Structure 1
């Protein structure tokens, strides 16, 4: 299945996964950009955005768990997010953390919060429609992990 066919499948988990990857890129870029401010609290939110980058990376690109040396505790934590509902909950929490950054004033971290909540909504729609979680082949889903090992 090509990437275009995946998007035409109307499976909201594919949309959520790619929106999550976009959110991961924004977390990294805007986390670094906002770390150089004078607000100590905003720096904390920037560090949380950077930490979110790695959580999202390991959740959305599953074959990284096979090739990166991680602890068994971290692996067990990441493997909890295999259903649409768990991923929707995780993205909602990560988004809420970034929405809380508004307490320091408006910053570009709002873009991170918006994209993460959109990813949560896509996963929630997939859960409401009782769609199975389908990972994109491009990101290591649907048997790609077995081919690597």
Structure 2
């Protein structure tokens, strides 16, 4: 769900900026676009090693290593997009729904006590050996 949120937030944020130039909706579209790279760094931890980022940004992203913290950030991002719907109904509802579903998935994983499962394709364990 997290990887799907990256694409949805980017696509919907960009399309809403292009099609609607209402002042408040433009703000929520920009927030949605900002959420996409944040989710990208949260879901693909290998990017923190290969992209030149600041120590503050790295520390911020590393806060979201547990399922509960990931559920919290997805919940906050979802809430922001739900608020945008009260301003004007738009395609940002797709981002709100997918972010909410991701938050629910991480919350359920936290309640069940499941550990985060990284894959080699997204920069989990074993990527360093694949590069060498």
How far does the alpha carbon of each residue in 1:97-124 deviate from its partner, in whole angstroms, 9 at most, with x for none?
A: 1101012221010000000110111111
Q: Which residue is 2:13 aligned to?
A: 31
Instruction: Compute the displacement of 1:137 (Å).
Output: 2.2
Q: Which residue is 1:44 aligned to?
A: 27
Q: How many angstroms apart in 2 are the aligned matches of 1:147 and 1:91? A: 30
Q: Work out which structure has the larger RCO, using CA pairs closer than 8 Å and 6 or more positions apart in sequence.
A: 1
Q: Quick check: 1:86 aligned with 2:64? A: no
Q: Which residue is 1:99 aligned to?
A: 82
Q: Structure 1 length as normaliser, TM-score?
A: 0.83
SS in 1 for 2:65: coil
**Displaced runs of 4+ in structure 1, greater than 6 A?**
none
Structure 2 unaligned spans of 5+: none
SS in 2 for 1:106: coil
Q: How many angstroms apart in 2 are the aligned matches of 1:145 and 1:45? A: 37
Q: How many angstroms apart in 2 are the aligned matches of 1:67 and 1:46? A: 28
Please tell me the root mean square deviation across aligned C-alpha atoms, in Å. Answer: 1.4
Taking a change above 3 Å as real, the CA distance of residues 119 and 106 of structure 1, as seen in their structure-2 partners, is same
Aligned pairs, number: 131
Q: Which residue is 1:21 aligned to?
A: 3
Indicate the larger mover: 139-148 or 27-36: 139-148
Taking a change above 3 Å as real, the CA distance of residues 47 and 80 of structure 1, as seen in their structure-2 partners, is same
